[in-house]
Amino acid sequence: MLQAKNGEFYLDQEPFQILAGGMHYFRTVPEYWEDRLEKLKALGLNTVETYIPWNFHEPKKGQFHFSGMGDVEQFIQLAHDLGLYVMIRPSPYICAEWEMGGLPSWLLKEKEIVLRSSDPVYLQYVEEYYDVLLPKFKPYLYQNGGPIVAMQIENEYGAYGNDQKYLAFLKEQYKKHGIDTFLFTSDGPEFIRQGSLADVTTTLNFGSKVDCAFQQLDRLKPGSPKLVAEFWIGWFDYWTGEHHTRDAADVANVFKELMEKKCSVNFYMFHGGTNFGFMNGANHYDIYYPTITSYDYDSLLTENGELTEKYRAVKQTLSKYIQVPEDYVSTISAKHYGSVTMQESVSLFDTLNQISNRFEHITPQPMEAINQKYGYTLYRTEVNRMGDLIMGIDAIQDRAYIYINGKYHTTIYKNDKLRNVTLNFTQESNTLELLVENMGRANYGEHLADRKGITHNIWLGGQYFFNWKMYAIELDVLPDNYQVEVETRFPKFFRGKFDADGTRDTFIDSKGFTKGNIFINGFNLGRYWNTAGPQQRIYLPGPLLKEKDNELVILELEHTDTREVQLLDQHKLKL
């Protein structure tokens, strides 16, 4: 098994340099796992690294998902069949710009829970999850004939807390389930003291300033082997921002410096993939920054798996130190399928009985309290006053469309500088509706316990209004009561059908639509926000298509001046 001694890594008692690439099986359709892994191997890397997202595998308490994109055992076996080693990072928290950092939202139903700590309530949930998860890895450990050579304890914990009992508990879970493998922690250089365990190898996450980073490691653990568990070669994007890029030559130069020092390296990311559905996370610093659907990350492979200039620059550098294979020739390609007319539509309000679960409570409840994971929640109450009433927006997470007596009034967003809005009620008894969108729970930092929906009752016109109806809209079920060219109020579902000869990759350009979600054959491809950017098109992997009668559905929240979308053969991210 992998060992660390004398400042180096050894595998089977022989010096071993980990040359790894990060790839998340849960961000790539299973039909493409082999293609991406072949390209990783062809680069000259010997190991694939992946996180394990708790919320993907236990979306509701006690309901486990390990099939399709969740079949992590198939992914590990495939890597093994291709001759690759595997590094697993199954910590309860993964960050990864993933919804709530991989923690399941149902944890937040416990109002007093202390996440990522030795809080007994939290630890019980972790242990129950690990009782199901960890035994899956034991047959794949290297000493058992499998490819797993290393596993992580937590993830960048020093950038969050200093609860050593919590880290020790996680280590003990591995022992409990017979996971006898090389263990490590990983942190940014400035946080390793709080995030490390004395008897576990400490690794570093950074993108540059190599000497400075390893000086801090040497001060904490002199003579420790050097592994960059996350060598950041790109960056993620957020809505309203620009597409982040990093120069290929710059990445290659830092990589060369690491190779000269004989460091082990994991490229984060080798292949980013896609935040399908509602699984994008968010960062919350001065304001809230929700991550876009694409997780292209300006990595070595594009979102749809193409080799980049950066890939070639890294391979050229690596070829000076080891013998690298020939490039893998992929059979996957994209196709221009042309336009699709969205002929049918239905208002979200006219299909609530099909697509939502209804709840009632004296006050509006957050999503988590009504067992809703993601998506949208419609809140409805009666306001028996007339005139202009001022409403604070602090309770509303994250974005809300407000309707009074069935008519759109205004939109509010948690980033709005103005923290109050004036609502005009024209009747003695009025119906107030707020459609609240969860745009992604925070995945990093102090706002990790990021409850969504309406988190407490709204103070409106100097008083509270009680008795609320709530409609949880997760969109795992779509409407079927469409009509042709009917004028109804937004949000609206639009539906169109098309054939896809060859079922090849394509990119949906929904220019003319504003904001919402796109579905193909019932699969939620993710969010679009055409007026915000930087993402301009949504990636549609070929395996999600059929030769005939594909059903394309768009939930448009705000407005559209078109009924057509284009299926193109090129990605586009706004620089």
Distance of CA 218 to the CA centre of its chain: 33
For residues 544 and 322, give the distance between their C-alpha atoms in angstroms, rounded to a whole number.
38
Decide: 524 and 558 in contact? Cβ < 8 Å: no
Q: Which residues pair with 423 in a beta bridge?
A: 389
Q: State both tokens at 312.
A: 């070639």
For residues 360 and 528, give the distance between their C-alpha atoms in angstroms, rounded to a whole number.
31
DSSP state for residue 189 in the 8-state scheme = G
Helix (H) or strand (E) run with residue 59 in it: none
Q: Reduced to 3 states, what is the DSSP secondary structure of residue 564?
A: strand
CB within 8 A of 377, min separation 6: which ones?
367, 370, 435, 436, 438, 452, 453, 454, 470, 471, 472, 473
CB within 8 A of 572, min separation 6: which ones?
507, 509, 536, 537
CB within 8 A of 220, min separation 6: which ones?
192, 193, 196, 202
Distance of CA 423 to the CA centre of its chain: 35
Decide: 490 and 334 in contact? Cβ < 8 Å: no
Query: What does the chain come to in residues?
Result: 575
Count of CA atoms in the C-beta half-sphere (13 A) of 573 = 21
Strands, E assignment, 418-533: 420-425, 430-437, 453-454, 459-460, 463-464, 468-473, 483-484, 492-498, 506-509, 515-520, 523-529
Tell me which residues are annotated as active site.
156, 230
For residues 181 and 201, give the distance between their C-alpha atoms in angstroms, rounded to a whole number.
12
Q: Find the radius of gyration of the CA atoms of the chain.
A: 25
* Nearest CA-CA partner of 506 in 529, 535, 538, 534: 538
CB within 8 A of 324, min separation 6: which ones?
42, 43, 44, 315, 318
Q: Which residues pair with 291 in a beta bridge?
A: 238
| Terminal-to-terminal C-alpha distance of the chain | 45
For residues 74 and 390, give the distance between their C-alpha atoms in angstroms, rounded to a whole number.
55
For residues 461 and 115, give the distance between their C-alpha atoms in angstroms, rounded to a whole number.
36
For residues 85 and 150, give the distance between their C-alpha atoms in angstroms, rounded to a whole number.
9
Name the percent of the chain in helix, strand, coil, to the closest 5. 25, 35, 45
Q: How far is CA 118 from CA 86, 128, 162, 163, 447, in A?
A: 29, 15, 10, 7, 18
For residues 115 and 112, give the distance between their C-alpha atoms in angstroms, rounded to a whole number.
9
